């Protein structure tokens, strides 16, 4: 079972209401429960109908700022996910090796010394069209297993879930309201910075052995081996609300993937899906007081909701407890 470092607050139990049942809402709820507080989640969608359920879900800070805070949140999450591989295999997390390819020579990412098996690629390991790259070991998360595991963990700790559509944060009861509505913050918070970044992916019953990545938004390409299928991607179409699968996007994805994985066999394709990442100029993780109500916003994670989830959840707890005796 996953162990947390938070100690229960024996002086005062807070009643916390979380809006949103994606990976950010559930992770925040688990952390608050582990800290000794009462937590309920209110959401109009639960797994398997959340955006988190269709995430490609490999650990990698993508489409997210501010970079310094994101790196910190990401490393916390990396360590938690890595520990789950052994402690809770039913969570659907495993470590795989992956290679990122770049069209320019750049500095190594700031987290390169903090994750497993990082190395710069040799010239012979870099596909045509690229000039630089690195290999690293990262958690891959099967969201069809991980989301139910999070919910089970939340309920085991005493968390309550309630289906409902929230029209105003001020209508909710609790000492603290945690806003994890993702893309819904555009309406709920009147936050026009929140926009969809449409992602289309393909599922194929073929194992590339390792992950292959081009993580630049304009050329986004990846192969992510899961237990039963490999996820091929992708797209990052900001401002696009379309949820239908588009043949032209499938063609583009396959063309890009074949450039870095020439052995791809199109006859083994078994499906695909579309999700809308909640993109924003930067993650909003901060406290706001509205009409005397404490609200902690935790949304706008772009393509890194899973990658940042536990680090952001830790910060939610820190913010919530900062005035627990006031």
Q: pTM, whole model, 2 decimals?
A: 0.92
Q: pLDDT tens for residues 19-53?
A: 999 999 999 999 999 999 999 999 999 999 999 99
Q: What distance in Å separates the CA atoms of residue 38 and residue 17, rounded to the nearest whole number? A: 8
End-to-end CA distance of the chain: 34
Beta strands in the chain (DSSP E): 15-19, 38-43, 93-102, 116-120, 132-141, 160-163, 176-179, 195-204, 211-214, 221-225, 230-233, 237-238, 269-279, 284-290, 293-299
Q: pLDDT tens for residues 248-275?
A: 999 999 999 999 999 999 999 999 999 9
Tokens matching residue 245: 């699968």
Residue 108 has a pLDDT of 94
Q: What is the DSSP letter of 258?
A: H
Block means of pLDDT (10 residues each) for the chain, 326 residues, are: 42 89 98 97 96 92 84 96 96 96 94 95 96 97 96 98 96 96 96 96 96 90 93 95 97 96 97 95 96 95 95 97 64
Residue 1 has a pLDDT of 35
- What number of other Cβ atoms are within 10 A of residue 209's Cβ? 12
Q: What is the DSSP letter of 58?
A: B
Q: What distance in Å separates the CA atoms of residue 102 and residue 73, rounded to the nearest whole number? A: 24
CATH top class, domain 15-321: alpha beta
List helix spans (H) across the chain.
23-34, 67-87, 143-156, 185-188, 247-260, 305-321
């Amino acid at each position: 079972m996953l162990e947390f470092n938070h100690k229960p607050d024996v002086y005062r139990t807070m009643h916390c209401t979380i809006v949103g049942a994606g990976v950010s809402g559930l992770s925040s709820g688990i952390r608050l429960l582990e800290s000794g507080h009462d937590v309920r989640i209110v959401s109009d969608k639960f797994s398997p109908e959340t955006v988190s359920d269709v995430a490609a879900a490999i650990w990698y800070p993508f489409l997210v700022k501010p970079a310094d805070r994101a790196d910190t949140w990401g490393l916390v999450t990396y360590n938690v996910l890595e520990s789950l591989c052994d402690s809770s295999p039913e969570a659907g997390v495993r470590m795989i090796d992956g290679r990122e390819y770049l069209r320019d020579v750049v500095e190594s990412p700031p987290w390169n010394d903090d994750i497993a098996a990082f190395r710069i690629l040799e010239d012979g390991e870099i596909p045509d069209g690229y000039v630089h790259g690195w290999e690293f070991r990262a958690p891959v998360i099967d969201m069809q297993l991980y989301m139910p595991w999070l919910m089970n963990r939340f309920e085991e700790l005493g968390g309550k879930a309630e289906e409902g559509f929230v029209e105003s944060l001020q209508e909710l009861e609790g000492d603290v309201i945690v806003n994890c509505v993702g893309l819904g913050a555009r309406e709920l918070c009147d936050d026009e910075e929140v926009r969809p970044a449409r992602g289309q992916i393909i599922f194929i019953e073929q194992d590339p052995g390792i992950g292959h990545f081009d993580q630049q938004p304009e050329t986004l390409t990846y192969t992510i081996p899961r237990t039963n299928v490999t996820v091929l991607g992708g797209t990052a179409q900001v401002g696009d609300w379309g949820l239908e699968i588009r043949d032209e996007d499938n063609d583009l994805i396959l063309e890009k993937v074949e450039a870095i994985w020439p052995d791809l066999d199109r006859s083994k394709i078994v499906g695909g899906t579309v999700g809308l990442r909640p993109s924003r100029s930067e993650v909003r993780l901060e406290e706001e007081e509205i009409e005397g109500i404490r609200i902690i916003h935790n949304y706008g994670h772009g393509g890194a909701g899973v990658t940042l989830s536990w680090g952001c959840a830790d910060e939610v707890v820190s913010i919530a407890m900062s005035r627990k005796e006031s």
